Amino acid sequence: MDTALEKRETAAAQIEPTHGGRSYVPNVDILEKKDELLLVADVPGARADGVNIDYERGCLTIQAAVTPRQDDDRTNYLVQEYGVGNYSRTFQVGEGIDSHKITAEIADGVLTVHLPKAEKLRPRKIEVKACG
């Protein structure tokens, strides 16, 4: 895959969240299709109204808030292994993406972000005409 979408490995990727509580980096798959890149992220427990996707100055940031399943002050856990927290991850988006056409949907804890390729980078079929 070309550099149309790269995980940001600079200082910006090392920024720590300022909110309290647990925070997770979601696992992602990035697939290249003919006309778009698909970013698929695992964000279990997140709902559409808790997901924010921002594009600013070449950075695509995914944040997903997860509401705790239990009120910790009123719950007496016998075993507590499942961690609940928000998800956050940032990617450097190359010039090959049409940022105005980015769309996303979430289903069953899986967030899919559609990153359409810019028209100039899409493959195009050239028609060959017969002469005389």
Q: What is the CATH number of the domain that holds 14?
A: 2.60.40.790
Is the predicted pLDDT of residue 13 greater than 50, yes or no?
no
- pTM, 2 dp: 0.74
Domain extent, residue 39, equals 5-68+79-118
pLDDT value at position 19? Answer: 60
Please tell me the total count of domains within the chain. 1
Q: Is residue 98 part of a domain?
A: yes
Residue-level length of the chain = 132
Query: What value does the mean pLDDT take over residues 26-46?
Result: 93
| Cβ contacts of 37 within 8 Å, gap of 6 or more | 1, 4, 5, 30, 31, 97, 115, 117
Q: Is residue 58 part of a domain?
A: yes
Instruction: Tell me the per-residue pLDDT of 118-130, one tens digit each, with 9 for 90 and over.
Output: 887 666 777 888 8
Q: Is residue 14 part of a domain?
A: yes
Q: Is residue 33 part of a domain?
A: yes
Q: Is residue 93 part of a domain?
A: yes
Q: Is residue 74 part of a domain?
A: no
Instruction: Tell me the per-residue pLDDT of 50-104, one tens digit each, with 9 for 90 and over.
Output: 999 998 877 899 999 998 877 878 888 888 887 788 999 999 877 788 888 999 9
